[in-house]
Structure 1
Amino acid sequence: MTTPKPEPSVESDVDLRPYNSFGLPARARRLVRIRQESDLRWVVNHPDWGRASKFILGGGSNLVLTRDLQPLVLKVEVPGLRLLDAGEDWVIEAGAGERWHDLVAWSLAQGAPGLENMALIPGTVGASPVQNIGAYGMELKDHFESLDTLDLMTGRVVTLDRAACHFGYRDSVFKQHLAGRSVILRVRLRLPKAWRPKMDYLDLQRAAEAAGVSEPTPSQIFDWVCSIRSAKLPDPAVIGNAGSFFKNPVVSEAVCREVIARDPHIVHYPLEDGRFKLAAGWLIDACGWKGKGVGGAAVYEKQALVLINRGEARGAEVLTLAQAIQASVFARFGIRLEPEPVVI
C-alpha cells in the first residue's frame, strides 16, 4: 500500500529577508514550499490557489524587493542530484532547489568536471537557466541539455531543450513569455568526459602563472575561481548583495571605438559576432561611484559592479542608487546599463 504524500501547507505573513540575498525587508502574504512535483500540482488544482496570481521564488539571489508580495509565493525547494553516464559525456540532473555552487562542487567530486568556471555563483539550479548564468568565459547554455518545467495553467510537465529556452546574454524564454507562467523542476547538464580547461580570462591566466601551472586541473580552476570571486564579491551571508548588479553592455565595433577614443583604458572583450562587451564595473568605477551610496545601499568598495546592503537598506534605496548610476554612466559614455536582478 502506497503512503499518500502529505499536502503542502500555506504559510501566512512570511518574512522574506532570509529568502533574498540582499536581505531587503519584505513579507509574503502567503507562501507555499515546493519540494516535489506533487506540491505544485496541488497548488494548480486547488480551487482557490490555482486561480490566484503567483510569484516564483528560488534562492532570491537575483531579486530586489521594494514592497511586500501579495501574490501566492511559490518557494522552489526541489532537491536531488544524479549523475548519468551518456557514453562520451556525463549528464547531471539536479533538482531546481539545489544550490548552484553545491552542484558545481558535487560534479567535481563525482569526477565530472566542466562547470568549475561558474563556481560560487549564488542562487539555485532552477534559477540558472532563467538568467543563463555565466562567469569567466562560460555560460550555462554551453553545457545545457534540457529541463522539466510545469505549466501553471495546465499542470502539464514539459521538457524543454536548449533551442526552446532561447538563451541570450543573461536572458531566456523564462524572462520573456514564460515569465511567471511555469516553474522549473529539474535541470540537466551535459559535460564531455574529454575535459578541456577554459582559461580565456586574464584573472585565471594570472592565477595559473602565479601558481607556476601550465596545465591546470579542474580542481585548480575551481579553487582559483573561488579565490578570485571571494576577493571581489562580498559573501551575501555577511553583506547583503545580489552579485553583479548590471549586465556588461554589448556594443557594436563602431561604438566601442568611440568609447576607446575618449577613454583608452576601458576594459573590453571582442565577441564572436564582431561586437564588443564592455566591463560595466569599469564604467561605474570611472564615474566615481565606488564606495558611494544612497541610504543603506552602496556600491561595494572592492568591486563597482556590486551594490550592497550596508545595513537596514530598503529596496527603494537600492533602486534609487541603481538609477543614479545608470544616469551617470549614460551621461559620460552614452552607454545604457541594464540591471541583472528582477525588481519587484
Structure 2
Amino acid sequence: MTVPNTMALPCVAKQAIVYEDASQLDSLQALFDQCGSLSILGGASNVILPATLDRPVVLMRSRGIEQVGATDAHWLIDVAAGENWHEWVKTSLSKDWPGLENLAMIPGTVGAAPIQNIGAYGVELAHRVQGVQVWDFEGRCRRWLSVEQCQFGYRDSVFKTDAGKHWMVLTVRFALPKIWQPVLDYPDLWELTQRELGTVSAQEVFDRVVAVRQAKLPDPAVKPNVGSFFKNPVISQAQAKALVQRYPTLVSYPQPNASVKLAAGWLIDQCGFKGKRVGPMAVHDRQALVLVNEGGATADDVMQLASEVKAAVMQKFGVALEMEPSLW
C-alpha cells in the first residue's frame, strides 16, 4: 500500500491497517506479538519516510469528540487520536471551548499532537491537556498518562523515548479554560493587543493565526512539506549575548529558565538559503524554516538539503539545528 504523506515522498508499506475503533486492539496486539513492533501514523505530516516500510503500519483514523466532565476552571473533553487537528480546533471554538485557537492550522492528527507537544504563538499542547490514553503493547493494556507522566518539553515528550515507543495514543483529554484569556505575546498577534481590553474573542485570534499561517506557510497539497523542519534552537544567555554583538538584528526570545530561544528561520535566511534549491528539494521562498518537495524527491534528497542547511548555520553562528520531523 502506498503511504500518503505531506512531503509527498514515495513510500510503500508491505502491510497497512486502518485503525478506526477499540474493537481492533486485540488484532493489533496479536500483530505486535508476531512482528515485535508496529509503525503508527496519523496524518504523516511530521515524518520523513523511506521508499519501503517493512514493519506493519497502523493508520490512525478513529473518530470521536466528547465532553466527559468539568472542574471549577476547565471543561474536560476526550478527543480520539484519529481526528484531524485543525478540524478539532474549529469544533472546540464552535462549542465554546476556547484555548486552542493559537494552534490553528497545524497539520496532522490529535493523536500525534502530544508526541511532538505541538506549539505555536505562545501556546503548547502541554498547556491544554489533562491526560493521554494509550494502548501499551508491552503491557497489553490501556493506560492513562498524566501531564507529568507525558514529560512534555519543547517539541518533546515521553512518547519519543524508549519508555513510550511501544505505546499507541488512543485518546487525548483536553482541559480547556472556562475563563479564557487571549495569548497575544507573539509579534504576528500584537495588532490584536491594540483593541480594548476584553474585546478580543477566541475566534478573532483563530482567524488571525489562520491568516498569518496562510500568508507565510505553503499548503502541503500544493507544495509538499512537513511544516517547520527545524526546531528553534535554545542556547545560553552568554552565547546569545555574544551573537547579538556580532549580529545586532538577531531574533531571540528570552526563556523563563534563563536560556534564550533563537528563530531558526532567521538563522537559515541569514545563510542565504531562502528560496535556494538543491536537486528536487528547496527552502521555501517566504519561510526559510520550511523545506519543500518541488517534485520527485526522496528521503535522501530531503536529508541532503537539511544537512547543507545545518552545516551552514553551524559554520556561521555556531548553533546546532535539530530536525522537527522524525526520520523513519
- Answering whether residue 241 of structure 2 is matched by residue 257 of structure 1, we say yes
Q: Deviation per CA, 1:90-126, whole angstroms, max 9, x where unpaired?
A: 1121000001111110000001101000000111000
Aligned position for 1:245: 229
- Answering whether residue 131 of structure 2 is matched by residue 146 of structure 1, we say yes
Aligned position for 2:326: 342
One-letter identity of the residue aligned with 1:15:
T
Aligned position for 2:191: 206
Q: Considering only aligned residues, what root-mean-square deviation do their CA atoms show, in Å?
A: 1.4
- Answering whether residue 298 of structure 2 is matched by residue 314 of structure 1, we say yes
Aligned position for 1:181: 166
One-letter identity of the residue aligned with 2:2:
D
Q: May I ask how many residue pairs the two structures share in their alignment? A: 326
Aligned position for 1:272: 256
Structure 1 stretches of 4+ moved >6 Å: none
Give the Cα–Cα distance (whole angstroms) in 2 for the partners of residues 21 and 33 of structure 1.
18
Aligned position for 2:2: 15
Q: Which runs of 5+ in 1 are unaligned?
A: 1-13
- Answering whether residue 156 of structure 2 is matched by residue 162 of structure 1, we say no
Give the Cα–Cα distance (whole angstroms) in 1 for the partners of residues 20 and 268 of structure 2.
40
- Answering whether residue 322 of structure 2 is matched by residue 326 of structure 1, we say no
Bigger Cα displacement from structure 2, 65-74 vs 90-99: 65-74
Alpha-carbon distance change, 178 to 294 in structure 1, aligned in 2, over 3 angstroms = farther
Bigger Cα displacement from structure 2, 124-133 vs 61-70: 61-70
For 2:79, which of 94, 115, 121 is the aligned residue?
94
Q: How far 1:179 sits from its partner (Å)?
A: 4.5
Q: Deviation per CA, 1:51-94, whole angstroms, max 9, x where unpaired?
A: 34321111101001133100011111111011244143111210
User: Counterpart of 2:169 in 1: which secondary structure?
Assistant: strand
Alignment of 1:65-104 (within 5 A): 65-88=49-72, 89-104=74-89
Give the Cα–Cα distance (whole angstroms) in 2 for the partners of residues 186 and 178 of structure 1.
18
TM-score (norm 1): 0.92
For 1:300, which of 284, 300, 304 is the aligned residue?
284
Q: Deviation per CA, 1:245-277, whole angstroms, max 9, x where unpaired?
A: 000000110010011111110110011111110
For 2:274, which of 290, 313, 336 is the aligned residue?
290
One-letter identity of the residue aligned with 1:343:
L
Aligned position for 2:113: 128
Give the Cα–Cα distance (whole angstroms) in 2 for the partners of residues 274 and 97 of structure 1.
37
Q: Is this contact kept in 2: 1:49–1:72, CA < 8 A?
A: no
Share of identical aligned residues, percent? Answer: 43
Q: Deviation per CA, 1:180-230, whole angstroms, max 9, x where unpaired?
A: 311000001101100001110111013555xx5653100000000000011
User: Counterpart of 1:178 in 2: which secondary structure?
Assistant: helix
Give the Cα–Cα distance (whole angstroms) in 1 for the partners of residues 196 and 294 of structure 2.
38
Q: How far 1:234 sits from its partner (Å)?
A: 0.8
Q: Which runs of 5+ in 2 are unaligned?
A: none
User: Counterpart of 2:324 in 1: which secondary structure?
Assistant: coil
TM-score (norm 2): 0.96
